[in-house]
């Protein structure tokens, strides 16, 4: 029987995803939602179908109607899964293989070609408003070198990492690039390597904004 549910299950199985892993990439969905879709107990909304086509790397029209095969993405082009970690974990991320190899994380699905060290963070606080709001999701790759104006996750000696805009200040006498980290909210102060030690953990490569529900 060729149904929307059977096609969702087909692509999920090909990509090696569990129902829980797939649900994490669909806004408002959970393990039960995916199970009901695959069993044809309920049908995904058009927004859910669009998100599913991205998460499953398949053509939206094929997922909806299933009347052709040409646009089905081969299994080897599966999406990447990156762990969703805390700001404390981010501080030790590039230095701890044991932490990176842990299996206790939630995972975020992305189609980006990332390094094995990539991770996701949820924005907290308001220091990067208005562009980044609390609850937004960012994906960070420690293997990507930041350019001026890009956004980075860094450590400044505290127990938690911080997320800020990267701005180069020029080379010092030891030929080391000095830089500062700029908050977008003017109520917060910049941090600079001219007066404190700062270590870049990684560069933001994706920003996901989620619609906030009205109270």
pLDDT in tens, 82-99: 899 999 899 888 665 555
CATH superfamily of 4-77: lambda repressor-like DNA-binding domains (1.10.260.40)
pLDDT of residue 77: 44
How large is the C-alpha radius of gyration of the chain? 20
pLDDT of residue 165: 97
Beta strands in the chain (DSSP E): 80-84, 106-110, 119-122, 137-141, 151-155, 162-171, 177-182, 191-192, 199-208
pLDDT of residue 167: 96
Report the range out of 43-52, 110-119, 150-159, 164-173 with the highest average pLDDT.
164-173
What percent of the chain lies above the pLDDT cut of 90? Answer: 44
Q: What is the pLDDT of residues 172-200, one digit of tens each?
A: 998 999 999 999 999 999 999 999 999 99
pLDDT band for position 73 (50/70/90)?
very low
- Report the C-alpha gap between 110 and 112 in whole angstroms: 5
Q: Where in the chain is the domain with CATH 2.10.109.10?
A: 80-208
Q: Please tell me the class of the 80-208 domain.
A: mainly beta
Mind spelling out the 3-state secondary structure of 61-121? HHHHHCCCCCCCCCHHHCCEEEEECCHHHHHCCCCCHHHHCCCCCEEEEECCCCCCCCEEE
Please tell me the pTM assigned to this model.
0.63
Q: Is the pLDDT assigned to residue 71 strictly greater than 50?
A: no
Q: Where in the chain is the domain with CATH 1.10.260.40?
A: 4-77
Give Cβ neighbours of residue 147 (< 8 Å, ≥ 6 apart): 166
- Report the C-alpha gap between 31 and 196 in whole angstroms: 45
Structure tokens that stand for 27 in this block: 């806004």
pLDDT of residue 67: 67
């Amino acid at each position: 029987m060729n149904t929307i549910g059977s096609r969702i299950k087909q692509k999920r199985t090909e990509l090696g995803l569990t129902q829980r892993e797939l649900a994490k990439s669909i806004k408002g969905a959970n393990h039960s939602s995916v199970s009901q879709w695959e069993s044809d107990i309920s049908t995904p909304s058009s927004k859910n179908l669009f998100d599913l086509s991205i998460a499953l790397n398949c053509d939206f029209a094929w997922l909806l109607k299933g009347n052709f095969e040409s646009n089905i993405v081969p299994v080897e082009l599966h999406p990447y899964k990156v762990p969703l970690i805390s700001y404390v974990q981010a501080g030790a991320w590039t230095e701890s293989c044991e932490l990176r190899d842990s299996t206790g994380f939630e995972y975020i699905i992305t189609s980006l070609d990332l390094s094995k060290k990539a991770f996701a963070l949820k924005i907290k606080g308001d220091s990067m408003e208005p562009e980044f709001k609390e609850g937004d999701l960012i994906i960070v790759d420690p293997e990507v070198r930041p350019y001026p104006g890009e956004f980075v996750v860094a450590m400044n000696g505290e127990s938690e990492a911080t997320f800020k805009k990267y701005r180069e200040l020029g080379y010092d006498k030891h030929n080391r690039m000095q830089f500062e980290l700029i908050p977008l909210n003017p109520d917060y102060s910049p941090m600079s390597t001219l007066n404190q030690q700062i270590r870049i953990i990684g560069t933001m490569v994706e920003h996901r904004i989620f619609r906030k529900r009205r109270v």
